[in-house]
Structure 1
Amino acid sequence: MAATRYRRFLKLCEEWPLDQTKKGRDLGAFIRQKVAQGFREGESSQIADPEKCDRMYESLARIHSAYYKNKYPRLRNTSFTGVTVEECRLVLATDNMKQLEEMKKGMWKKIREKFTRKPEDATKEYA
């Protein structure tokens, strides 16, 4: 029985898309990691709570198939702010998040970082 569950999870992982713009924060990568941890021994893995495992699979399958998106359709394809899905993806990309963090730094912190020497820089000067 564990072999069937393992194959179902593997199929779900294969179908689940990876978002390359969200490195380290992607749901697909997180699910793959958790499946690998849960089924360390592959098809011969022992499952402590089969009902919980089945419920988890069904929940992930509903999210992947957009079950709730289809069950409760939206009137508009924007949020309350008027931002579209594509604009949200751009803002939430890892590279853009790093830029926003850089912009959030205060003036004093930027100046201090600019003028503080790193230990490897100090050794180069004396060599």
Structure 2
Amino acid sequence: MAATRYRRFLKLCEEWPVEETKRGRDLGAFLRQRVAQAFREGESSQIADPANCDQMYESLVRIHTNFYKNKYPRLKDTSFTGVTVEECKLILATAASLLEKNECCYAQIHSACVFTRCSCSFALLWFLSLTAASGN
């Protein structure tokens, strides 16, 4: 049974995209690392808690397939910050990729934000999750 679980996780890893702008913070890369740790011996690995393993797999599949985005579609795409999805992605990108692109709108957005630094970051993450869920 571990062999089947291993193959299912491998297939999920192959399908999960890797975002180059999030080096060191990418969910796809983290997933690959965790699968490699959990299945060190490949198909012959022993799973301590098969029910938990199956539950994690099903949860990851729901995330990957946008299950809840499709189940609960948004009626409107709203934002209170006024920044675009591209600008949010740029803000959330790693510093190295920002330097490579030689673009940075973080200062513009941060100066327009009247919240504290922590609140502003939370607001931008919230906005990104709303716009990413809408597919725009």
TM-score, structure 1 as length reference: 0.71
| Contact 1:3–1:44, Cα closer than 8 Å, also in 2 | yes
Query: What does residue 57 of structure 1 align with?
Result: 57
Structure 1 residue 5 and structure 2 residue 5: aligned?
Answer: yes
Q: 1:71: how far off?
A: 1.1
Aligned to 1:88: 88
- The aligned length equals 101
Query: SS where residue 22 of structure 2 aligns?
Result: coil
Letter of the aligned partner of 2:18 in structure 1?
L
Equivalent positions of 1:1-127 (< 5 A) are 1-95=1-95, 96=98
DSSP-derived class of the 2:20 partner = coil
Q: Distance in 2 between matches of 1:81 and 1:34?
A: 35
Q: How far did residue 78 of structure 1 move? A: 4.6
- Kindly, what percent of the aligned residue pairs are identical? 77
Letter in structure 2 aligned against 1:9: F
- Give unmatched runs, 5+ long, in structure 2: 107-136
- In structure 1, list runs of 5 or more residues that go unmatched: 101-127
* Shift in Å, 1:73: 1.3
Contact 1:78–1:85 (8 Å) recurs in 2: no
Normalised to the residue count of structure 2, the TM-score between the two structures is 0.67
What's the CA shift for 1:80?
Answer: 3.5
Paired AA for residue 66 in structure 1? N
- What RMSD over aligned residues (CA atoms) do the two structures have, in Å? 2.3
CA contact (8 A) 1:2 1:44 kept: yes
Output the CA distance in 2 between the equivalents of 1:46 and 1:80.
49
